[in-house]
Chains A and B, each alone.
Chain A
Amino acid sequence: MTSGAGRDAVDPDDELVRRAGAGDAAAVQALVAAKLRRVLALAERMLGDASEAEDVAQETFFRVWRHAARWRPGGARFDTWLHRVTLNLCYDRLRRRRERPVAEPPETPDPGPAPDRGLHAMDTGRRVQAALQALPPRQREAIVLCHYQELGNIEAAALMGVSVEALESLLSRGRRALKSALADLARPD
C-alpha cells in the first residue's frame, strides 16, 4: 500500500529481530514466516528466475542472521534494510548476466498449482513476468517495490536513492511500457 509515511516511530520488526539475534528459536521462525515470502517475491520479480531468487533469498537471510545480534533500533526500518540487501544481491546477479551473457534466457518461473487459478491466468502471469523482465531495471524496481511489495512512495524513493518525483516518473514510464507490451490483455472492458 502506498503511503506518505516515512520511518515510523517504532519499527514493528525491531523486537523480533533483536530476539532472533539472541537466538530465540520462536523469533527466528516468526521472522522467516513474516519475511521470506516477501524477499523471495521481490527477488523473483527482479530476476525472473525462481532458482536464482531462492539463492538470493538464502543469502539475504544469512546476512540477516549475521547482523541480527547487532541490530539497533532507530535507523532504517528492518523491512527497508531487508529490501536493500535483497536488491543489492539482485543487481549483483543482473550485472553478472550483462558481463557474461547466457545462451538461454532465464527460466520463466512456474507459479505452481493453485486451485483457483486456471491456465489462462498462468499464461497471463508468464506474460507479465516477461514484460517485467523487458523493462529497464530501474523501472522494474520501481514497479516491483510500489505495486507488488506495496512500499510507500517515500520509502521506495529513499530505498532507490531518488526523489519521489523521479520515482513517479519511473513508475509512469514502466506502466506505459507494460500497457504497451500487454495491450491485448490489458484492455478496458
Chain B
Amino acid sequence: MMTEERFLTLVGAYGADPQRWPLGERAAATAFLDANPELVAACLEAEAALDAVLAAHLTRDPSAAFRGRLVGAAPRQRAVGRTWRWLAGAGLGLGLAASCAAGVAAGFTLAPASVSRLFEPATGQSSSLADPVGDVSAS
C-alpha cells in the first residue's frame, strides 16, 4: 500500500522519473501518482527540475589511446597457449617415459613365467622353445 509519505520519500530519493523508482514499488507508486496527481505535483516538478540539471553533467569518452593501453595490458592468449602447450608436451613426454620404464620393468619381472606358460605343452614337459637348454640336454 503506497502512502503519500512513502511516495514523497521515493521521489525525494530517486527523483521524478518512475524508471528510477525501485522495481518492487514502481507499480504502486505509479498508481498512487495517477490517483493523486495534484497532491504530489509540486514535489514531482521540483524533483524533475533537479533531474534535468543533473542530466547536464556529462563525462568525457575515453580516448582511443587510453583504451589501447588497457587492452595492451591484458593477458594474452598466445602466451598462455604456448605455456599450456609446453606443459602438455612435457607431461606427455614424462608419461611416455614412465610408461616405457614400467613396461621394461614388467617385462623383466613377468616375462619368463608368462612366456613359459604360453609355450607349455599338454604333456607338462617343457618345449624346446621354452627350455632350449633342456632340449639340448635331452638329446
Contact = CB atoms under 8 A, between A and B. Distances in A.
Contacts of A16: none
A111 B55 CA distance: 13
Contacts of B76: 23, 25
Contacts of A40: 59-60, 62
Interface residues of B, number: 43
Given A21-B75, A54-B66, A188-B45, A168 B80 contact: no
Contact of B78 (A23, A50, A58, A69): A23
Interface in B55-92: 56-62, 66-67, 69-71, 73-81
Contact of A61 (B23, B70, B79): B70
Interface stretch (B11-19, B100-108, B120-128, B130-138): B11-19
Contact of B56 (A36, A128, A150): A128
Most A Cβ at <10 Å: residue of B13, B67, B81: B13
Given A24-B77, A32-B71, A172-B9, A57 B20 contact: no
B113 interface: no
Given A129-B57, A172-B13, A1 B20 contact: yes
Contacts of B50: 175, 178-179, 182, 186
Interface of B, helix, strand, loop or mixed by DSSP = helix
A82 B81 CA distance: 27
Interface residue tally of chain A, by bracket? 35 or more
Contacts of A104: none
Contact of B22 (A4, A125, A182, A187): A4
Interface in A144-182: 146-148, 150, 152-153, 164, 167-169, 171-172, 175-176, 178-179, 182
20 contacts: A1-B20, A2-B19, A2-B20, A2-B23, A4-B22, A23-B74, A32-B67, A32-B71, A33-B67, A37-B61, A58-B66, A61-B73, A111-B59, A111-B60, A112-B60, A125-B58, A148-B54, A172-B13, A179-B50, A188-B46
Interface of A: 1-5, 20-25, 28-29, 32-33, 36-37, 40-41, 44-45, 50, 54, 57-58, 61-62, 65, 68-69, 109-112, 114, 117, 121, 124-125, 127-129, 132, 146-148, 150, 152-153, 164, 167-169, 171-172, 175-176, 178-179, 182, 185-189
